[in-house]
């Protein structure tokens, strides 16, 4: 038995036989060509590109209707890459200039592109290197292997098997979708790699970044995949299989049970209504939110509309995106967070999004600071959000507030925008609620000063923990220090909740802590009344809410806050969770 660890990117447990896909990049030969063969070589290259195009188009045409929309957009991205001059024209110049074979010309071009992607700071853009590599591999295979059908044949008899690969192409995933594979394991990838995104939307357990998985595992070997913890067990002992089978059954049973409370109220045993909202990144995510009957959107991360593109969305484009969300969840609040760009969330467009390389980007010109620094970025967004307020219940949320001055400047800008819209006869809701994210310790400590001027608070624990404990949230080396139960974090959360309550405004939480079942009872005990999270967590949190008694949890939470050392604190939280 061998236990390997990777990054769990799609939760669930799978037990099955491995199917190892060995599809390393083909060996690329290099040879010189005499002048008279150059034009023929260029035709061979063009034919390989044409074949790649028809292969991709054919895959796109065969995407099952039930497949998530991301699949076809990824295939479209591959088609765009294929048409890019860097891929379909630059190698032709190389063939002419260097008089080399087509494969070599393509390989040198692809190596150069790879190096450029490697230097990009933005992890999302860096991950695009994989797409370019996958397109190049396809062309190379067309050049090197005649009638290479291996790629399209991998779907045979894979039902119930666990696919282990160096990496999977979106095309692979389209094909795999026809079968009922049990899980994915890949050597490469990260939480935002395609494999991860697609696995989550297909609801298949998946682990990425299991180094050397394809070497350590042989086809036919039994595997256990725990997609939540990122644990991969190779050739498990019978007792371990039995244990995981039991856990698997529990998960299926739990899912079924959770479905039954979808329509039930989110209310504690002692009759307190707790709002459960969904976090979304893109308008399409609203489907997942509706599927679990979220009571609204507690965090719409609008910066995703600005990322991964060379230009900026104008007011109209933003209006359309926000309107799509508001209309898709009628009658329920949609909390639109103003731009939270900067630090790890960078945009391509020159001159914006904290383009200067700073020593501590998380402490730099990001989020509301950037918006106030560059109001030409902020004003169109405020106009778009306010215009959307005419269509439904829209709330504006300001990220990363750290001083009262910033808050007042934003409130003034909102008033100015309202006046402008009124002058122009554009409809909007004058009562649109404005809330602040409490994610900087300074704001939590002085929450009582912010509260009288805002309509709600939302605690962003991802940043609050990063700033309180001085741990960069994207630095793996300090991950181990990340601790939502650190007394300082709990005190800041409690202070924020109390300040909100005494000012009579609701306090929500939209960081990852809100969707983690280990903390639900404690947060309820601390008085949190709104939770916003990834839709997949919502029903489980609802179940806990429905089983909770706030008076009892309040007493426990008080003890947790008064605990004198970590051991005592953890024991109290465990005790709360046993109830």
> What is the C-alpha separation between 356 and 565, in angstroms, rounded?
42
What are the residue numbers of the active site?
A: 194, 510
Q: Does 303 bind Mg ion (CB under 5 A)?
A: no
Residues 6+ apart with CB under 8 A from 436: 397, 398, 401, 407, 443, 450, 454, 457, 458
> What is the C-alpha separation between 460 and 493, in angstroms, rounded?
10
Smallest gap, in angstroms, from Cβ of residue 465 to ligand PEP? Answer: 8
Q: What are phi and psi of 19, to 5 degrees?
A: -125, 105
Q: Does 463 bind Mg ion (CB under 5 A)?
A: yes
Question: What residue 510 binds from Mg ion, ligand PEP, none (CB within 5 to 8 A, per partner kind)?
Answer: ligand PEP
Comparing CB distances to ligand PEP, the nearer of 462 and 577 is 462
Comparing CB distances to Mg ion, the nearer of 268 and 461 is 461
> What is the C-alpha separation between 414 and 496, in angstroms, rounded?
24
Indicate the SS3 state at residue 489.
Answer: helix
Indicate the SS3 state at residue 430.
Answer: coil
Smallest gap, in angstroms, from Cβ of residue 567 to ligand PEP? Answer: 27
Question: What residue 401 binds from Mg ion, ligand PEP, none (CB within 5 to 8 A, per partner kind)?
Answer: none
Indicate the SS3 state at residue 16.
Answer: strand
Comparing CB distances to ligand PEP, the nearer of 91 and 460 is 460
Pairing verdict, β 2-5 and 507-509: unpaired
Decide if 459 contacts 498 (C-beta within 8 A): no
Indicate the SS3 state at residue 504.
Answer: coil
Smallest gap, in angstroms, from Cβ of residue 88 to ligand PEP? Answer: 38
Decide if 84 contacts 106 (C-beta within 8 A): no
Question: What residue 301 binds from Mg ion, ligand PEP, none (CB within 5 to 8 A, per partner kind)?
Answer: ligand PEP
Indicate the SS3 state at residue 64.
Answer: coil
Footprint of Mg ion on 442-461 (CB under 5 A): 460
Please report, as ranges, the residues that interact with ligand PEP according to CB under 6 A: 299, 301, 340, 439, 460-463, 510-511
Smallest gap, in angstroms, from Cβ of residue 340 to ligand PEP? Answer: 6
Q: Which residue is nearest to Mg ion (CB)?
A: 463
Comparing CB distances to ligand PEP, the nearer of 463 and 529 is 463
Comparing CB distances to ligand PEP, the nearer of 84 and 281 is 281
Q: Does 435 bind Mg ion (CB under 5 A)?
A: no
Residue carrying the six token digits 């796109």:
60
Question: What residue 172 binds from ligand PEP, Mg ion, none (CB within 5 to 8 A, per partner kind)?
Answer: none
Footprint of Mg ion on 281-300 (CB under 5 A): none
Task: Tell me the two tokens of residue 115.
Answer: 């190096």
Smallest gap, in angstroms, from Cβ of residue 251 to Mg ion? Answer: 30
Q: Which spans of this chain sit near Mg ion (rule: CB under 5 A)?
A: 439, 460, 463
């Amino acid at each position: 038995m061998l236990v390997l660890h990777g990054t769990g990117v799609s939760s669930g447990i799978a037990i099955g036989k491995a199917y190892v896909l060995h599809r390393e990049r083909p060996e690329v030969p290099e040879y010189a060509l005499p002048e008279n063969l150059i034009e023929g070589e260029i035709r061979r290259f063009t034919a390989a590109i044409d074949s790649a195009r028809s292969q991709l188009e054919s895959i796109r045409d065969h995407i099952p209707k039930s497949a998530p929309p991301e699949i076809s957009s990824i295939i479209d991205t591959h088609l765009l890459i294929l048409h890019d001059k860097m891929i379909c024209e630059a190698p032709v110049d190389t063939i002419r200039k260097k008089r080399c074979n087509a494969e070599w010309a393509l390989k040198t071009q692809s190596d150069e592109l790879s190096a450029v992607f490697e230097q990009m700071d933005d992890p999302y853009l860096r991950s695009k290197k994989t797409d370019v590599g996958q397109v190049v591999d396809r062309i190379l295979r067309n050049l090197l292997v005649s009638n290479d059908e291996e790629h399209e044949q991998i779907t045979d008899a894979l039902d119930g098997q666990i696919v282990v690969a160096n990496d999977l192409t979106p095309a692979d995933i389209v094909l795999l979708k026809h079968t009922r594979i049990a899980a994915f394991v890949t050597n490469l990838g990260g939480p935002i790699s395609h494999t991860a995104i697609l696995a989550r939307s297909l609801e298949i357990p998946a682990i990425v970044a299991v180094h050397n998985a394809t070497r350590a595992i042989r086809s036919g070997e039994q595997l256990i995949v725990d997609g939540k913890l990122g644990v991969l067990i190779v050739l498990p002992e019978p007792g371990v299989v039995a244990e995981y089978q039991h856990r698997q059954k529990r998960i299926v049973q739990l899912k079924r049970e959770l479905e039954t409370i979808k329509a039930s109220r989110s209310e504690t045993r002692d009759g307190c209504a707790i709002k459960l909202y969904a976090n979304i990144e893109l308008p399409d995510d609203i489907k997942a939110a509706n599927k679990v009957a979220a009571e609204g959107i507690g965090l719409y991360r609008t910066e995703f509309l600005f990322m991964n593109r060379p230009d900026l969305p104008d007011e109209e484009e933003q209006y359309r995106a926000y309107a799509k969300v508001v209309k898709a969840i009628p009658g329920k609040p949609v909390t639109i967070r103003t731009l939270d760009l900067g630090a790890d969330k960078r945009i391509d467009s020159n001159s914006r999004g904290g383009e200067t390389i700073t020593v501590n980007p998380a402490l730099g010109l990001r989020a509301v600071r950037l918006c106030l620094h560059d109001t030409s970025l902020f004003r169109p967004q405020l106009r778009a959000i306010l215009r959307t307020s005419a269509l439904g219940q829209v709330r504006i949320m300001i990220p990363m507030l750290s001083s009262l001055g910033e808050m007042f400047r934003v409130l003034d800008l909102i008033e100015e925008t309202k006046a402008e819209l009124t002058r122009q006869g554009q409809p909007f809701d004058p009562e649109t609620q404005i809330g602040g994210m409490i994610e900087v310790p300074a704001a939590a400590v002085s929450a009582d000063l912010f509260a009288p001027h805002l309509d709600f608070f939302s605690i962003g624990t991802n940043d609050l923990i990063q700033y309180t404990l001085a741990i960069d949230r994207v630095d793996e080396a300090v991950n181990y220090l990340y601790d939502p139960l650190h007394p300082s974090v709990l005190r800041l959360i409690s202070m924020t909740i109390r300040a909100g309550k005494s000012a009579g405004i609701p306090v929500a939480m939209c960081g990852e802590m809100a969707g983690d079942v280990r903390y639900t009872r404690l947060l309820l005990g601390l008085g949190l009344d709104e939770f916003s999270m990834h839709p997949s967590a919502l029903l489980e949190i609802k179940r806990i809410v429905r089983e909770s008694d706030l008076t009892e949890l309040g007493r426990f939470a008080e003890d947790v806050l008064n605990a004198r050392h970590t051991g005592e604190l953890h024991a109290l939280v465990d005790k709360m969770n046993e109830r």
